[in-house]
């Protein structure tokens, strides 16, 4: 069975963006003219995942409002005859069925995923992290969903990273398969020091998991940062195929935008703005002049 549900952990405090995130969830920060989280929901919907569960927390109400109807705003735009903006406002509501569940104690990504157990049931499901945006022209998630269904395996998305960024990611110990973009994973380690890393293949924020992960997460002790790490539960699966079958990585070589820290966020906004049909031509012209003026 191909997965139809996605779990999006959105309870993080967004401390790297303070003070912007004092009263606004980091997931709602605009990337050009849409909140970051909308790109992720659009990606899920494009891949056929229209049942979305957000694991949320205190202060995240703006996310719920964003995916709900906005009758007053919609009426006002309708009266003005502003069809384009009305469509833009309604688009977020019509993308998917979005459900919300509070994480409760902030005990880490693994704990957030475990909270989805009842909603997910006995099916494979995707986990998508909001700091990673995958370009709309890519098909990473579809590829992962297909591999999951075909191999009845756990699938994570991997990307080669520069050695100096290894300590920011879960890193895979992997070997090639007959498919050029698929590797078999034998181990995973959360944010290792560069000298202890088994490779430079980093887990990016897309996973297609089997429901067996929940039993493993139940038993996973707090790890790095005293948090229950999803990577640690995946390591249990990767090191013992008997638990829930094999773990594979789909190696992504396409366009990914990181919005997790301020510098990467600025780069993501510029790159996405340059690619936009409406804003791109003017923005690129200005950007060319501006960068020339910096020389
Ligand atoms: C999380 C995961 C890590 C993964 C990363 C991808 O870390 O724990 O394994 O590589 O997402 O973005 P975070 O960035 O939330 O600290």
- Encode pLDDT of 18-41 as tens digits: 999 999 999 999 999 999 999 999
Identify which of 121, 186, 126, 195 has the alpha carbon closest to the alpha carbon of residue 164: 195
Distance 10 CA to ligand 1 centre (A): 13
232 CB less than 6 Å from ligand 1?
no
Do 248 and 283 fall within a single domain? no
The stretch 132-144 carries a mean pLDDT of 97
Percent of all residues in the chain with a pLDDT value above 90, rounded to a whole number: 99
Do 38 and 168 fall within a single domain? yes
Joined together, the tokens standing for residue 42 give 């659009």
Do 233 and 270 fall within a single domain? no
Q: Is 265 left (phi over 0), alpha (psi -120 to 50) or beta?
A: alpha
Here the CATH number for the domain that contains residue 168 is: 3.90.550.10
Distance 43 CA to ligand 1 centre (A): 19
Do 47 and 180 fall within a single domain? yes
Do 268 and 231 fall within a single domain? no
d(CA 20, CA 197): 34
Query: Please, are residues 208 and 158 in contact by the beta-carbon 8 Å criterion?
Result: no
Percent of all residues in the chain with a pLDDT value above 70, rounded to a whole number: 100
To test the ligand 1 pocket, which listed residue (15, 16, 17, 131) has its Cβ within 8 A of the most ligand atoms? Answer: 131
Do 245 and 269 fall within a single domain? no
Do 70 and 107 fall within a single domain? yes
127 CB less than 6 Å from ligand 1?
no
Sequence length of the chain is 295
Do 255 and 273 fall within a single domain? no
d(CA 204, CA 134): 10
At 92, the pLDDT band (50, 70, 90 cuts) reads very high
Distance 229 CA to ligand 1 centre (A): 9
Do 218 and 72 fall within a single domain? yes
Overall number of domains in the chain:
2
Joined together, the tokens standing for residue 19 give 């003070």
Do 79 and 122 fall within a single domain? yes
Q: Residue 295 above 90 pLDDT?
A: no
Do 24 and 64 fall within a single domain? yes
User: What's the pLDDT at 132?
Assistant: 95
| CB neighbour list of residue 277: distance below 8 Å, 6 or more residues apart | none
d(CA 43, CA 70): 23
Do 129 and 248 fall within a single domain? yes
- On the question of a cis peptide bond just before residue 190, with omega within 30 degrees of 0, the verdict is no
Domain that holds residue 267: 261-295
């Amino acid at each position: 069975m191909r997965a139809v549900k996605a779990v999006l952990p959105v309870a993080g405090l967004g401390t790297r963006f303070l003070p912007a995130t004092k009263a606004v969830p980091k997931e709602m920060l605009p990337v050009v003219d849409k909140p970051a989280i909308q790109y992720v929901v659009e990606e899920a919907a494009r891949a056929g995942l229209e049942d979305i569960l957000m694991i949320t927390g205190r202060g995240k109400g703006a996310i719920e409002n964003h995916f709900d109807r906005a009758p007053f705003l919609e009426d006002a735009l309708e009266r003005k005859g502003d069809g384009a903006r009305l469509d833009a406002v309604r688009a977020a509501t019509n993308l998917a069925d979005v459900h919300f569940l509070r994480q409760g104690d902030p005990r880490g990504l693994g704990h957030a995923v475990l909270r989805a157990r009842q909603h997910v049931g006995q099916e494979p499901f995707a986990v998508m992290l909001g700091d990673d945006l995958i370009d709309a022209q890519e098909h990473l998630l579809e590829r992962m969903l297909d591999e999951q269904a075909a191999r009845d395996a756990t699938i994570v998305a991997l990307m080669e990273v520069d050695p100096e960024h290894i300590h920011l990611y879960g890193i895979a110990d992997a070997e090639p398969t007959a498919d050029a973009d698929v590797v078999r994973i034998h181990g995973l380690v959360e944010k290792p020091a560069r000298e202890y890393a088994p490779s430079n293949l980093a887990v990016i924020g897309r996973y297609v998991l089997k429901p067996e992960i929940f039993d493993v997460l139940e038993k996973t002790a707090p790890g790095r940062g005293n948090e229950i790490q999803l990577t640690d539960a995946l390591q249990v699966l990767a090191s013992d195929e008997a638990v829930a079958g094999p773990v594979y990585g789909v190696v992504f070589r396409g366009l990914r935008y990181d919005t997790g820290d301020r510098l990467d966020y600025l780069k993501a906004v510029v790159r996405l703005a340059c690619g936009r049909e409406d804003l791109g031509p003017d923005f690129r012209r200005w950007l060319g002049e501006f960068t020339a003026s910096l020389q």
